[in-house]
Structure 1
Amino acid sequence: MTYSEAVEWLYAQTRAGAPRGLSRIRTLLQRLGHPEVAFPTVHVIGTNGKGSVVAYLEAAFKAAGERYGATTSPHLLDFRERIRTHLGLIPEAEVVHFVEWAQGQQFSEPVAFFDLTTALAFRHFAAVGISIAAIEAGVGGLLDATNVLPWVRATVLTNIGEDHLETLGGSLEGVARDKAGAVRTGVPVVTGAEGIGLEVIRAIAAERAAPLYVLSESGPLFDLPVQPSLQGRFQRQNARLAAAVLRLLGYDESTISTGLSTAQHPGRMQQLTYQGVPVVLDGAHNPPAARALVEELEGFHLVFGAFPRKDYRTILQTLLPKARSVRYTYAARGALRAEELLQAYPAPYFDHPLEALQHAVQSSQQDGSPVLVTGSLYLVGEMLRLLQGRAVDGLLTAESV
């Protein structure tokens, strides 16, 4: 089996309509000898900012000389970006070996992609012998595969917003209850949530005697000793959450400063230059992310692609007031096509992302406004892949993620 064949097999695995739950991941981990017990973790949950918080933590762990692990999703260029340690991305051979093992197993119910990827990450971390991990949850918290972790030293609940509403209870309160369901008894919780989300988190943390630390720009726990490396005003909140966790874990201020100032997280306000035109790539895939994004830009020429399971109409409505021109493209397999997108707002549609980018560049060359590529991290990843090998300033490769 080749690496690409192994990844394709992983992509094809679903729970086939079965309810969400932890039985599948527990079965996987039991058969692997429970690798999840081998390392402590920071569990990062929330609607937005999870990957950025992990990036800050990862950079700080590196600065401290830790043997660390980190998981984020989705990837941009290579599946292996989802599973990283101090040694780099998980080796291709290990992915292949795991898939061959999984294919030889008999399960009583279909095992989904995220269950398999989570089990692979935990097995890899145990084999490498990491000393700490920053783990990003997938969807929600209570029934997310990452909620089997037994040795959580801190929980981060970044925020509560409108995403996965149909899966997580149909309301912000339901989303908050699901995400806060991962709060552990006695384990510190750091959060940037507000409103009803914070009310729910506060109640659950109290029930479980979990110390709760709510983001405060004036609080010393959340102090920013340096300017965060990631772009956007919203990144200051993510950086404050990461700084608070690092202080609770006992890291010194020098390590915290290095982590905040050196973190990398491609695809989030990532700035490139293509054919002399500024291009911003951002994977904003829900309304809160879109609202944060538009606050950063005065005007832009929009390249938009999204998926039917997302609230793409609200995302578009958020982006359109500052969009000086609009065009759609096909984000990735399963993404929205022209007929659905044109019902939301009339604009040209391009099957190929580079054609859409080139069309936007022509508009940008007329007025100097940047091109914004957004709507999905899968679109951002595909655009980065297509731009590889072309004359692009500011392009990062998979190995630098």
Structure 2
Amino acid sequence: MGRLLRSLGSPHRYMPPVVHVAGTNGKGSVIAFLRSILEEGGYTVHVYTSPHLVRYNERIRLGGRLIADEELQRFLKTCLRLNRGRPITFFEIITAAAFLAFSQTPADICLIETGLGGRLDATNLIKQPEVSILTPISVDHEFYLGQGIRRIAKEKAGILKRGRPAIVSKQSPEGSRVLEMAARQKGVPLWRYGCEWKVSHRKFGSVFESLSSRRILPLPGLLGLHQRDNAAVAVAALDFLHQFPVSSRAVRRGICRVKWPARLQILGPGSLKNMVGPSTKIWVDGGHNASAGEALAEAIRINLGGEPVVLILGMLQTKSPAEFIAPLLPWVEKVYPITLDAEAGLTEAALATQLREVGAPVLCSGSLEAAVQQAGSEGNKNIVVCGSLYLAGQVLSMNDEYIN
């Protein structure tokens, strides 16, 4: 990756100021809040996130718009040509294309999400971020990052750069110790939840307080208590973005108007939604690990009224259905496992077996469409499709939901 960037003229050195974000859960949501706030403040923002849901273009946002097909093709062709057939991963080549695009397109600031981990991530060639952000770290991708919170947190801490500040969201005690040790070794000033800043939630919204600011935050445009936490992390980053001042009005509007698909998103009219009656709501959420299961369970309890819901679940073989479903069981009436149409996707039968082992009320239907039709015909108020961002993308595509 470093060799390719040198061949491209080191575009990562010529991008606008960077906010670099790593963590297990909430990375994309924190970036979505920060982008929305900054754009409400009048700034032009580049964004790099992954994975995409429907189209590759979603990964690269140039100055507030998704990269056009022709632009993406042109930048990718340049990267492939200069790579000269040497071994490279898909993520590395598209990261290089994003950096090249960002270096050649005017903007005020870049928001960049890591892919996996941090220390060895393709995005980690950024040497002087304006600020780094570490979202909640939990167990996920153990095959790549190592087993246990300690090893995973050590990998995520790899994005910390000497002398550059870092925002730290709510963490487990073990994760916090690892991050604080890494910060001391690198001379990184930390802005930690519960220490330098805090947030308390109220019915009307949230109260954010730090050593340098105090803000009243509205209820966010994304559902779930965890999204109120994510909004607060984005606001904490503003304490260090001194060259990008924003008004209280821009902060409020940004939090209210934020858009980030497949995060407890309700489907609008479309091919899939038309399979159920008007009184049935279909929700889609890309969460796929234990922490995401806890967040989704809390959102069902608070935002969906706590009434039992029907889950349609598809997951990768690398994930743990038992850990994901455990916090959801009190709020679930039925679970329809489906075969995930993706590389390393669990089959319906394999997923059903794992779910039954933990006492989930499983019904098999044969396909996503059949599960939606069956659940809808039984008069259920809320159907939640979850377990994978790949599945979320398929649902949005089938329902003709365009991401802009």
| TM-score, normalising length: structure 2 | 0.85
The answer to whether residue 253 in structure 2 is matched with residue 258 in structure 1 is: yes
**Aligned-pair distance for 1:62?**
1.2
Contact 1:222 1:243 in 2 (8 A): no
The equivalences for 1:133-282 within 5 A come to: 133-192=110-169, 193-215=171-193, 216-217=198-199, 219-220=209-210, 221=213, 223-250=215-242, 251-252=245-246, 253-272=248-267, 274=273, 275-276=277-278, 277-282=280-285
2:68 maps to 91
**Structure 1 residues 255 and 117: CA distance shift in structure 2, 3 A:** same
Q: How far apart are the structure 2 equivalents of 1:82 and 1:263?
A: 17
**Aligned-pair distance for 1:79?**
1.2
1:386 maps to 398
Deviates more, 1:344-353 or 1:190-199: 344-353
* Counterpart AA for 1:258: R
Q: Secondary structure at the match of 1:296?
A: helix
CA distances 1:277-303 after superposition (whole Å, capped 9, x unpaired):
112211111110111111121221010
**Aligned-pair distance for 1:108?**
7.5
Match of 2:349 among 331, 339, 351: 339
Q: How far apart are the structure 2 equivalents of 1:247 and 1:255?
A: 15
**Structure 1 residues 127 and 294: CA distance shift in structure 2, 3 A:** same
Q: How far apart are the structure 2 equivalents of 1:338 and 1:194?
A: 34
Match of 1:398 among 379, 398, 403: 403
Deviates more, 1:121-130 or 1:308-317: 308-317
2:21 maps to 44
Q: How far apart are the structure 2 equivalents of 1:285 and 1:109?
A: 33
* Counterpart AA for 1:256: V
Q: How far apart are the structure 1 equivalents of 2:289 and 2:214?
A: 26
The answer to whether residue 6 in structure 2 is matched with residue 30 in structure 1 is: yes
Q: How far apart are the structure 2 equivalents of 1:224 and 1:304?
A: 37
CA distances 1:123-179 after superposition (whole Å, capped 9, x unpaired):
111111222111111111111111111230111101110111222121100011110
Contact 1:223 1:240 in 2 (8 A): no
Q: How far apart are the structure 2 equivalents of 1:249 and 1:163?
A: 30
Q: How far apart are the structure 1 equivalents of 2:7 and 2:256?
A: 40
Q: Secondary structure at the match of 1:217?
A: strand
**Structure 1 residues 351 and 111: CA distance shift in structure 2, 3 A:** farther
The answer to whether residue 348 in structure 2 is matched with residue 325 in structure 1 is: no
**Structure 1 residues 186 and 222: CA distance shift in structure 2, 3 A:** farther
Q: Secondary structure at the match of 1:345?
A: helix
* Counterpart AA for 2:290: P
**Aligned-pair distance for 1:255?**
2.6
1:81 maps to 58
Q: How far apart are the structure 2 equivalents of 1:353 and 1:121?
A: 34
Contact 1:327 1:348 in 2 (8 A): yes
The equivalences for 1:356-367 within 5 A come to: 356-363=371-378, 365=379
**Aligned-pair distance for 1:100?**
2.9
The answer to whether residue 310 in structure 2 is matched with residue 315 in structure 1 is: no
CA distances 1:101-138 after superposition (whole Å, capped 9, x unpaired):
34434557521111111111111111112221111111
Deviates more, 1:96-105 or 1:30-39: 96-105
**Aligned-pair distance for 1:247?**
2.7
Size of the alignment, in residue pairs?
Answer: 365
Q: How far apart are the structure 1 equivalents of 2:334 and 2:288?
A: 19
**Structure 1 residues 177 and 185: CA distance shift in structure 2, 3 A:** same
1:15 maps to none
Match of 2:88 among 95, 101, 111: 111
* Counterpart AA for 1:27: R
Q: How far apart are the structure 2 equivalents of 1:47 and 1:96?
A: 30
**Structure 1 residues 80 and 222: CA distance shift in structure 2, 3 A:** farther
Contact 1:331 1:382 in 2 (8 A): no
Q: How far apart are the structure 2 equivalents of 1:296 and 1:93?
A: 40
* Counterpart AA for 1:210: V
**Aligned-pair distance for 1:350?**
4.5
Match of 1:286 among 289, 294, 298: 289
2:203 maps to none
Superposition RMSD on alpha carbons, in Å? 1.9
1:352 maps to 367
| TM-score, normalising length: structure 1 | 0.86
Q: How far apart are the structure 2 equivalents of 1:247 and 1:153?
A: 11
CA distances 1:358-384 after superposition (whole Å, capped 9, x unpaired):
222223x1xx44111000011111011
CA distances 1:240-295 after superposition (whole Å, capped 9, x unpaired):
00001023213232332222221110100112363321122111111101111111
Q: Percent identity?
A: 32
* Counterpart AA for 1:319: L
2:41 maps to 64
